[in-house]
């Protein structure tokens, strides 16, 4: 009897610890890092959810182009894209319309009111993924092999790839983007770390504005006006606030401390 009580108690404690700690996140394979599943209306309409791969798109376009000019939200499902929106030439349909060309090839058409079985198998499933495709995995590794490497995320140092000219993301789309004056880049600045011995963060506006412009971050993500007035904690960042809106999800993970805490310790 005593033995049974001990086993039950042990199981109860074990279950409580597991429940309290939550389930450990699965480390994503590089080709899945930055993938977003969009399922606002797909399954209601009898289609599998859309799996959007950031790596396929960010090699060609800046974050700003899609999240400002095209109007995509910054979290999965926030935009509530409907097939009708795409058909009208907005959101995915801005480029995926069968007319826009990329590298002299027409970008495939996104949605249609009616479609045949052949069209479903050849077109719809490109976005509405039924099952994981090994083809995509192969495409990723083929694409990544010549790009600068990184330890975390999807293993690509995107910032270096852009600055070295290995990728040239487009920031303007005719008929969609507004012609603007050249961006005057604000200077870099240091942010003091709260942990003693941890190098200060050097925040580079230059590195960020290449991809994001101004309005993607200000004031929606960073609303503080005076530098240093808003105190960020790493807990908040890991919860997906501030830097965590992009880093960990699409941009390199925040567990790569040395990418941000770069100022040499005196």
Partner 1 sequence: MNTIPYGKTSKQLVLVLSFILYAFLTTAHGQESWRTDFDETCARTTDAMSLSNNELKVLIAKCDQLQTIIEKQEETVRKVFLKRLQMCKNLYVYVLESKSASEKTPK
Nearer to partner 1, 72 or 140 (CB): 72
Determine the 3-state secondary structure of 31 from DSSP. helix
Q: In the complex, what is the shortest distance from the CB of residue 176 to partner 1, in angstroms, rounded to a whole number? A: 10
Half-sphere exposure of 205 (CA within 13 A, CB side): 14
Nearer to partner 1, 67 or 247 (CB): 67
Q: In the complex, what is the shortest distance from the CB of residue 113 to partner 1, in angstroms, rounded to a whole number? A: 15
Nearer to partner 1, 80 or 132 (CB): 80
Q: In the complex, what is the shortest distance from the CB of residue 264 to partner 1, in angstroms, rounded to a whole number? A: 29
Q: Please provide residue 144's backbone torsions phi and psi, each rounded to the nearest 5 degrees.
A: -75, -20
DSSP states of 162-224: HHTTS---B---TTTSPP-PPP-PPPPEEE--SSTTSPPEEE-HHHHHHHHTTTTTTTTT---
Nearer to partner 1, 34 or 213 (CB): 213
Q: In the complex, what is the shortest distance from the CB of residue 220 to partner 1, in angstroms, rounded to a whole number? A: 7
Q: Which residues bind partner 1 (CB under 8 A)?
A: 68-71, 73, 79-80, 82, 84-85, 88, 90-91, 178-184, 186, 213-216, 218-220, 223, 225-226
Nearer to partner 1, 217 or 260 (CB): 217
**Tokens at 191, concatenated:** 């942010």
Q: In the complex, what is the shortest distance from the CB of residue 90 to partner 1, in angstroms, rounded to a whole number? A: 5
Determine the 3-state secondary structure of 250 from DSSP. coil
| Residues 231/223, Cβ–Cβ less than 8 Å | no
């Amino acid at each position: 009897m005593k033995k049974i009580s001990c086993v039950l108690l042990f199981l109860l404690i074990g279950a409580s610890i597991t429940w309290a700690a939550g389930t450990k996140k699965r480390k994503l394979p590089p080709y899945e890092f930055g993938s977003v599943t969009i399922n606002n209306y797909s399954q209601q309409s009898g289609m599998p959810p859309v799996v959007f791969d950031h790596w396929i798109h960010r090699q060609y376009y800046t974050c700003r182009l899609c999240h400002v000019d095209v109007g995509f939200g910054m979290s999965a499902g926030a935009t509530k894209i409907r097939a009708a929106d795409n058909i009208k030439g907005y959101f995915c349909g801005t480029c995926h319309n069968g007319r826009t060309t990329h590298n002299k090839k027409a970008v495939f058409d996104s949605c249609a009111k009616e479609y045949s079985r052949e069209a479903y198998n050849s077109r719809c499933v490109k976005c509405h993924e039924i099952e994981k495709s090994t083809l995509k995995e192969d495409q990723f590794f083929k694409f990544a092999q010549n790009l600068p490497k990184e330890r975390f995320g999807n293993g690509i140092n995107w910032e270096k790839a852009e600055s070295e000219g290995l990728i040239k993301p487009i920031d303007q789309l005719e008929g969609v983007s507004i012609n603007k004056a050249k961006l005057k880049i604000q200077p870099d600045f240091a942010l003091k770390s709260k942990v003693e011995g941890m190098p200060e963060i050097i925040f580079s506006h230059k590195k960020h504005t290449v991809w994001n412009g101004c309005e993607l971050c200000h004031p929606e993500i960073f609303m503080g006006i005076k530098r240093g007035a808003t105190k960020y904690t790493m807990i908040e960042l890991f919860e997906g606030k501030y830097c965590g809106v992009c880093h960990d999800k699409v941009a390199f993970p925040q567990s790569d401390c040395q990418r941000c805490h770069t100022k040499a310790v005196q």
